[in-house]
Structure formats: structure tokens, C-alpha cells
Structure 1
Amino acid sequence: MEFSLERVTKAHERLGIKPTDRFLLVRIGAATLQFFRGGELVKAHPVSTSKRPPSNLKGSLGTPRGLHEIAERIGAGQPPGMVFKSRVPTGRHFAELPDATADSNLITTRILWLRGLEPGINRGGKVDTYDRYVYIHGTNHEARIGEPLSAGCVLMRSLDLIELFDAVRVGDHVLIVD
């Protein structure tokens, strides 16, 4: 755990940004998301990240690295498995959709929309995480969580995501590392 805290602390120091009490550490290679409060690990969750190599470039479909913040929390009160289109609940659970969409990776349950905090790395221009619509969100493929699966987002199981969503706030930091 110390290694994790050290990485987050160094990112804050390097950018001259005050740490938040709550923060998330996403480890792409380990396929985990760790939730910290007051410097203590609260919980770790399995996740899936991009099928492609990590990348901050627009159009790469890679999960972006670096220090981010939660810019928006979307979907409070929606049932697990609710499908979102353009960040709006459709009123349908993913199981209600035609089989044709079963192969696609749907945005379900909740959305934590990320904004990069590092100019030129994950903020601004062709590397802007927010403009790339990179989220932490649910999926219709929960059985595959832990394997590379997304087009750049961080995917979680619905019940894990609801628990996390209820514990974090807009402005909380998220560090994504290899």
C-alpha cells in the first residue's frame, strides 16, 4: 500500500496540487481500483480498462494515465444495469436490449466522468480526458471484469460502482497508472 500512496503523493507534489481526502488509484496492469480516504485504503475493486495500450491521445481508445479529478457524477438513484446514452438513462436495463447490442460494451449503472489535471498530458488539446468522454462506469459484461475490455474507460461491476459512487464526490482525485 505504501507504494500506492507514494505514487499519489508524488503526482500531487509534481503538479503543486493539494491532495483530496478521498482519492482513487487505478492500476491498469493489475486491473484494480483502490479507494482511499484520509490516506487509508478503504476498498479495492477489480476493473477493466482498454483493450488497447494505455494512451492519452484522442482517438487512441487507450485508458489515459495521470492525475484526474471526478468532474461529474451521473446516474444517482438509477437501478443497477440501467443503460445510458449520451449520459442520459434510457429507462432500460441492458438485458432488455436486443441481442445485437450484447456484443457491444454499454455504459450502465453510474458514470464518474473524469477530467485531466495535467496540462499537455491529460488536459487540453489532443490529450483532454474530459473531451474524450473517459468515464468510470458499469458494463453489460460483468463476468469479464479484470480483462482488457473497454475503449478507454474504467469499467466496474454494478454493485461495486454504486458503492464507490456513493462514497466519492466531484473534485476527488483519480490517479491512473500502468
Structure 2
Amino acid sequence: MSISRRGLLVGFSALLAGCAETGPNFRLLYAARPEEKFPLPAMPLERVKPELRRQEVAYETAHPAGTIVVDTPMRRLYYVLGDGRAMRYGIGVGREGYALAGSAYIGRKAEWPSWTPTPNMIRRDPDRNLRYAGGLPGGLNNPLGARAIYLYRDGRDTMFRIHGTNQPQSIGLAMSSGCVRMLNHDVIDLYERVTPGGRVVVLQA
């Protein structure tokens, strides 16, 4: 039984299409979001390494589905899906991000949050931060980005935040300030998955 050249090409094209569907479509995941209060442009993919972009991965853990695991040394955040799977995100970690270890929970979350520098940040860099002591409204230039997730312990704010960033090139790095930063597109995705009261585990070196 002979196979025509056209049939061979069609079959080969289908095989390639099947292979293409096995990986995430990063251009779609990081496309423009015009529906946002402050419309987000598409993220330039060349600014973030492929391994730091959002994707579902195999992840064996004893933590139940719905848990956030922040792996500070590896600059990764996992949202546990269950059945040995998790959504993995690349993160950047600021100085304040090393101040918390162990378990916490989501006390609240906010869309396009306002930002106020801490007293330590003002002391360290008054020329940059003192002007914002009264707070900076949410927006594309706000350091907390599109979303913020606030972590609590025993009913008290730990001052530890998982938040967006307007500096995608900082993902995967240790920064001089901030807690745990994510790409704006990624923190929106995480924000939609979590609810107040959800458990968070922060791993330190």
C-alpha cells in the first residue's frame, strides 16, 4: 500500500501540530490584557527565560491542593494542583522576602494595590522612597504591580507580600527591596486561583 506525497505531508503536519500542543503557548499566556483597570501590554517574552515562565509541571509534595509553596532559594513559586501536579511561576525575591519562613495564610488580596514604602526602605533610600511615604496609588508604575496577596500569621499582617512587578527582567533574581515579585500576568493568574485563608509555605535556604 503506497502513501502519496500529499498524504505524507498532511500526516507530518498533524504530527507537528500535536507536538506543538504539548507545551504552553507563551504568547497567549502573556498576551495584552486590555480588560484590566490599567490595561496591560503583552509581555516581551525575550525579557524572561522560558524556565521562569508560567507552566504546569510535575510536583510531588505532601501539601494539599490549594497550597502556595514559595521556594525562595530556587526563585520559584508553586501553586499545588494535586495528583502530583503544580502550576510553577518564576519569582524575584527582595530583601523583605527573606524575612519570613515556614507557614502563613492569605489574610487578604487586592487588585492594583496602593504601595507605601516601609520605614526601613525610607531610611535605606530616602531620595527614592521618602516622596511616597503617604502612599502611591495603584497603576502600571506601582511597585506592587497588578495584584498583591498579603500573608498573615495569628491574625496579624507579616508585612510579607506576593505581588506583581513592572520590572519583568527582575524575575529569577535577588533584589534590594520588595518581598516576592511575579510577572503581572502571572500574579493575576495566581490571584484568581487563591482565596483568603489559603495556606502558604515559604522555604528559605
Report the number of matched residues: 128
Which residue of 2 is the match for residue 168 of structure 1?
Answer: 194
Rounded Cα–Cα distance in structure 2 between residues aligned with 1:137 and 1:53:
11
Task: Provide Cα deviations, 1:85-110, integer angstroms capped at 9, x if missing partner.
Answer: 35x8825421xxxxxxxxxx811110
Displacement, 1:140? 2.0
For 1:43, the equivalent position in structure 2 comes to 87
Q: 2:152 aligns with which of 115, 131, 154?
A: 115
Q: What's the CA shift for 1:32?
A: 0.1
Aligned CA distance change for structure 1 residues 28 and 48 (closer, same or farther; 3 Å): same
Structure of larger gyration radius = 2
- Normalized per residue, the structure richer in helix is 2
% identical aligned pairs: 23
The reply on whether 1:141 has 2:171 as its aligned counterpart is no
Query: Of residues 93, 101, 108 in structure 1, which corresponds to 2:140?
Result: 93
The structure showing larger relative contact order (alpha-carbon pairs under 8 Å, at least 6 residues apart) is 1
Taking the aligned partners of 1:52 and 1:114, their CA distance within structure 2 comes to 13
Aligned to 1:120: none
Q: Which ranges of structure 2 fall in alignment gaps of 5 or more residues?
A: 1-58, 117-134
Query: Which runs of 5 or more structure 1 residues have no equivalent in the other structure?
Result: 9-19, 56-63, 76-81, 95-104, 117-122
Amino acid at match of 2:114: F
**CA RMSD, Structure 1 to Structure 2 (Å):** 2.7
Q: 2:110 touches 2:149 (CA, 8 Å); kept in 1?
A: yes
2:114 matched to which residue of 1? 84
Residue 50 of structure 2 corresponds to: none
* Structure 1 residues 165 and 92: alpha-carbon distance in aligned structure 2, compared to 1, 3 A threshold: closer
Give 1 or 2: higher strand fraction: 1
1:25-83 Cα shifts (integer Å, max 9, x gaps): 1111100001112354231000011247833xxxxxxxx111011110111xxxxxx56
Question: What is the TM-score normalised by the length of structure 1?
Answer: 0.62
Distance in structure 2 (CA, Å) of the matches to 1:71 and 1:33: 18
**Which residue of structure 2 aligns with residue 70 of structure 1?**
106
